[in-house]
A and B are shown apart, each in its own frame.
Chain A
């Protein structure tokens, strides 16, 4: 049987697409999920994730600070039991990116909201009565870009 509710906190390695490559940065992730058994080892559910990261590009000429936040609800297919569960989720995503560019008399702060879609796969492994270890990889579209992230986290289920 799969837990009905789960709340978790994790760390990510994020690769956010830039104009010509990806910006690698550490990030954090909070999630809340629920699942309802449907047949045998299968369960259907949903997860809401909120991810955040921040990074800086700096030279003597300019500083570009980027703060990034994304919320993504996914609809999940779970396969497994209380000890271990494989999860596949897809859903919409919305990202907010605050960019601050300063240098040479230029001072630009701009906030962009970028819709997209997210697909992720996770593995949950239980420990103790309520603990869950989660490993996850995901890719998310963001306007014209494609981002990647991979992370681990700890959850509490009930």
Chain B
């Protein structure tokens, strides 16, 4: 709903084939497998069977007859809404579509199954897993869907041109998560969009997060030993402060442009200095917004000196 709450309400869905959950935005699949090529080490999604949503017409609206159908249609609606918002704001995201989403595929690495909704880098595919919470299912959470779409957009921003930021480098993972949170929070204008599904105060963007040396990755580590969300939340809450001094649309545009600037400039250090993203945001601001953003950067990145800020 517009006020940030959730309810079962009729929605217009741009679905060409509601039964199979397929349309201009995405196509849903049941199962399938995420596999990683032994030589390429690139992830691929091997499609499973098509989804089959049984529904009944009620007062002019179609109502799915099981929870999975309800979640699949909700996910599709949120994805379509995110696309429409971003297109309206002038962002070039149309080439990303159509996407795919897979309900409970098999993973080569089972631990990834702890994510209830995820974007699988390099595949143009989202993964939805069953969750066991009482709140709004994560795949039906408007902010979570936008967050996951943010990963797809981040991938496009950092790889569409002659850029090849390695999303497996830990600092890049942090900025990736932070950017995804920016997409979720700024498109909904909600700094705590996960809450209807799962109370996660540590992911709230208010009060602001502050960077400290231990949040930065130091050298290669096993994937699971680094928490990209902690530093990512610092970046996202910095952009929330920028939003408070501007607008959600302006802040998101600044963030997207800054990701491209960062990725273009950062090749020399293997994309490790993700604070250059903040510098890129500051460089793109002027006047009062620049002053306010510099103040926020000073508070939130106390060990960093940013050029152009007093």
Contacts and interface: CB of A to CB of B under 8 A. Distances in A.
B240 to A, nearest CB: 26
A2 B135 CA distance: 55
Contacts of A97: 65
B69 A19 contact: yes
B8 A105 contact: yes
Interface in A40-65: 57-62, 64
Contacts of A110: 56, 58, 63, 65
Contacts of A103: 7-8
B8 A19 contact: no
Given A59-B134, A112-B65, A143 B54 contact: yes
A110 B56 CA distance: 8
B66 A57 contact: yes
B66 A18 contact: yes
B22 to A, nearest CB: 13
Contacts of A108: 56, 58, 63
A23 interface: yes
Contact of B64 (A19, A21, A61, A143): A19
A15 interface: no
B136 interface: yes
Ranked nearest first, the 9 interchain pairs of A and B with the lowest CB-CB distance are: A104-B7, A19-B69, A20-B103, A104-B8, A57-B67, A19-B68, A20-B30, A19-B53, A18-B66
A66 interface: yes
B71 to A, nearest CB: 8
A60 B7 CA distance: 10
A20 B51 contact: yes
Interface residues of B, number: 33
A150 interface: no
B130 A21 contact: yes
A99 B50 CA distance: 23
13 contacts: A18-B68, A61-B6, A61-B8, A61-B135, A61-B136, A62-B70, A103-B7, A104-B7, A108-B58, A110-B56, A110-B63, A112-B65, A145-B54
Interface of B: 6-9, 19, 21, 28, 30-31, 51-54, 56, 58, 63-70, 72, 103-104, 128, 130, 133-137
Interface of A: 17-21, 23, 57-62, 64, 66, 97, 99, 101, 103-106, 108, 110, 112, 143-145
Contact of A60 (B28, B68, B135): B135
Contacts of B69: 18-20
Contacts of B72: 19-20
B134 A19 contact: no
A61 B7 contact: yes
Nearest to B66: A18
A99 B259 CA distance: 47
Given A19-B53, A19-B66, A61-B136, 6 more contacts: A19-B30, A20-B69, A101-B70, A106-B8, A106-B63, A108-B63
B7 A19 contact: no
Contact of A59 (B28, B58, B66, B135): B135
B144 to A, nearest CB: 14
Nearest to B103: A20
A18 B134 contact: no
A141 B66 CA distance: 17
Given A62-B70, A99-B66, A144-B54, A20 B104 contact: yes
Contacts of B31: 21
A60 B58 CA distance: 22
Contacts of B54: 19, 112, 143-145
B105 to A, nearest CB: 11
A46 B39 CA distance: 55
Contacts of B51: 19-20
